Structure 1
Amino acid sequence: MEMTEIIADIITRKESAGGLKQVYYAACGGSLGAFYPAKCFLEAEAGMLRTGWYNSNEFVHYPPKLLGRNSLVVVASQKGNTPETVKAAEMARAAGASVIALTWETDSPITKHADYVVKYTYGDGKDIAGEKTIMALLTAVEALAQTEGYENYNKFRGGVSKIDGIVKQAAASVAGRAEAFAGEYKDDTVIYTMGSGASWSSAYMQSICIFMEMQWINSACIHSGEYFHGPFEITDEKTPFVLQISEGKTRALDERALKFLRTYGKRFEVLDARELGLGAIDPSVVDYFNHSLFNNVYSVFNKALAEARNHPLSTRRYMWKVEY
Structure 2
Amino acid sequence: MLGFNEEEYLGQVRSTIALRSQIEELAERVSAGRWKNIYFIGAGGTYAAALPYERFFQTRSDLPVRAVIGKEFVLAPDPQFGPDSVAIFASVSGTTEDILDCLEFARERGALTIGFTGYPESPIATGVDEVLLSAPKAWPFDVQFLLFAAKLLSLRGEFDGYDRLVRDLEALPEALLAVTEQADPIGQEFAQKHAQTDYHFLVGSGNLWGFTYLYSMCILEEMQWLRTTRVHAAEFFHGSLELIEKDTSLLLFVGEDETRPLMDRVISFANNYSDDVTVIDTAAYELPGVSDEFRGLLSPIVADAVVDRFSKHLAQARDHSLDLRRYYRVVEY
TM-score (norm 2): 0.88
Paired position in structure 1 for 2:180: 171
Question: How far apart in 2 are the matches of 1:177 and 1:309?
Answer: 16
Q: How far apart, CA to CA, are the structure 2 residues paired with 1:280 and 1:237?
A: 41
- What is the CA-CA distance between 1:20 and the residue it aligns to? 2.5
The offset of 1:209, in angstroms, is 0.8
Supply the distance in 2 between the matched residues of 1:291 and 1:184 (Cα, whole angstroms): 25
Distance 1:302 1:158 in 2: 30
**Aligned: 1:286 with 2:295:** yes
- Alignment partner, residue 317 of structure 2: 308
**RMSD of the alignment, in Å?**
2.0
Unaligned runs of 5+ in 2: 1-20
Letter of the structure 1 residue corresponding to residue 268 of structure 2: K
CA distance in 2, matches of 1:163, 1:233: 40
Distance 2:28 2:147 in 1: 12
* Cα drift, residue 95 of structure 1: 1.5
In the alignment, which of 64, 72, 81 is matched to residue 67 of structure 1? 81
Asked whether the equivalents of residues 48 and 214 of structure 2 are also in contact (C-alpha less than 8 Å), the reply is yes
Shift of the 160–283 alpha-carbon distance from structure 1 to 2, 3 Å rule, reads same
Deviation string 1:252-271 (CA, Å, 9 cap, x unpaired) is 11111111111111102111
Is 1:213–2:222 an aligned residue pair?
A: yes
The answer to whether the 8 Å contact 2:74/2:102 transfers is yes
3-state SS of 2:67 partner: strand
- Report the alpha carbon displacement of residue 10 of structure 1 after superposing the two structures with TM: 3.6
Selected match of 1:8 from 28, 31, 37: 28
| Distance across 2 between alignment mates of 1:10 and 1:261 | 45
Instruction: Answer whether contact 2:175 2:288 (CA < 8 A) is retained.
Output: no
Structure 1 residue 120 displacement after superposition: 2.8
Distance 1:201 1:274 in 2: 18
Q: Distance in 2 between matches of 1:56 and 1:166?
A: 33
Cα distance between partner residues in 2 of 1:227 and 1:97? 38
Q: 1:161 maps to which residue?
A: 170
- Code of the residue aligned with 1:257 in structure 2: it is V
Structure 1 residue 144 corresponds to structure 2 residue 153 = yes
Give the one of 199, 223, 226 matched to 1:190: 199
What SS does structure 1 have at the residue aligned with 2:199? coil
Change (3 A) 1:35 1:279: farther
SS in 2 for 1:182: helix
Asked whether the equivalents of residues 179 and 287 of structure 2 are also in contact (C-alpha less than 8 Å), the reply is no
Separation of aligned partners in 2, 1:155 and 1:256 = 33
Question: How far apart, CA to CA, are the structure 2 residues paired with 1:178 and 1:211?
Answer: 14
- Which residue of structure 2 aligns with residue 233 of structure 1? 242
Task: Give % identity.
Answer: 27
Code of the residue aligned with 2:24 in structure 1: it is: T
Cα separation, 1, equivalents of 2:310 and 2:239: 28
Instruction: Provide closer, same or farther for how the CA distance between residues 31 and 2 of structure 1 changes in structure 2, counting only shifts above 3 A.
Output: same
Letter in 2 for 1:3: I
- TM (norm. structure 1) is 0.90
Contact 1:120 1:132 in 2 (8 A): no
Letter in 1 for 2:141: K
C-alpha contact 2:201 2:249 (8 A) present in aligned 1:
yes
Matched residues, number: 313
